[in-house]
Structures are given as structure tokens and as C-alpha cells.
């Protein structure tokens, strides 16, 4: 079955678009397909594309995503977008933000190393 949206691609670019779609959306890659689809669903929710939300939800399920995983991905997306709006609206100084995130990451790594050495 060839979906209508694929049938509508001009002949001049059909082979290229189909190959790209297969490679990016369907083929195995470093990130397992279930997780890529959950990422795709989060992006689709942010851009509010109902076609993409439906597609990525269904393909995530096809790749084994549970309802709980789908909800978690959407909640994570909501949290990320919310924090982005808040920090951007505050006009937090970016270099200071980067410095603090690196410091936090270094601290957590050192705590993890201590825990694994114990």
C-alpha cells in the first residue's frame, strides 16, 4: 500500500524522498526505532502537527512502545518546552547557564564514580 501523501510526491523527487524516508524514519540506527518514534512524537506535539502526532504514535506502538512510555515521552516534552519558555523569558545569561550545567554534570559524575567504587 502506498499512502496518498507519498503518491503526491512529484516524480522528479520521489525516489530521493522515499529513500530518505526509509533511512531516517524506518531503518535501524544507533537509537532504537521505538525511542526515535517517541522523540518524533515529542517534536510533533511541539509543532502541533496532527499528522505527525498520529504517525509517530502508531509507529512507536508498532515498535513496542507502551501507553505509559508514550505518556512519559509527552510529559518529558511538556516539561522541556515549559522550562525552555521560562528560561528564555527570563533571558537567563547563556554562558552562566552553560557553566552551571557543566558544574552540575561534573558533580553528578563524581558522585556516580564514588558510588560505583564503593
Q: Is residue 112 part of a domain?
A: no
Q: Is residue 57 part of a domain?
A: yes
| pLDDT value at residue 2 | 84
pLDDT band for position 102 (cuts 50, 70, 90)? very high
Residue 6 has pLDDT above 90, yes or no: no
How many structural domains are present in the chain?
Answer: 1
Q: Is residue 41 part of a domain?
A: yes
pTM score, whole prediction: 0.83
pLDDT in tens, 8-35: 999 999 999 989 988 888 888 999 999 9
Q: Is residue 9 part of a domain?
A: no
Q: What range does the domain containing 79 cover?
A: 31-92
pLDDT in tens, 73-96: 999 999 999 999 999 999 999 999
Q: Is residue 40 part of a domain?
A: yes
Residue written as cell 499528522? 51
State the Cα–Cα distance between residues 92 and 43, nearest whole angstrom: 24
Please give the helix or strand (H or E) that residue 106 lies within, else none: helix 94-117
Residue among 45, 100, 107, 96 at smallest CA distance from 70: 45
Amino acid at each position: 500500500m502506498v499512502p496518498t501523501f507519498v503518491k503526491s510526491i512529484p516524480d522528479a523527487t520521489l525516489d530521493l524522498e522515499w529513500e530518505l524516508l526509509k533511512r531516517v524514519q524506518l531503518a535501524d540506527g544507533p537509537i532504537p526505532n521505538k525511542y526515535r518514534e517517541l522523540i518524533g512524537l515529542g517534536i510533533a506535539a511541539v509543532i502541533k502537527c496532527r499528522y505527525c502526532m498520529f504517525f509517530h504514535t502508531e509507529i512507536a506502538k508498532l515498535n513496542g512502545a507502551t501507553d505509559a512510555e508514550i505518556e512519559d515521552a509527552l510529559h518529558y516534552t511538556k516539561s522541556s518546552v515549559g522550562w525552555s519558555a521560562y528560561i528564555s523569558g527570563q533571558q537567563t545569561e547563556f554562558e552562566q547557564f552553560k557553566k552551571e550545567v557543566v558544574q552540575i554534570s561534573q558533580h553528578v559524575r563524581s558522585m556516580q564514580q564514588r558510588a560505583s567504587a564503593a
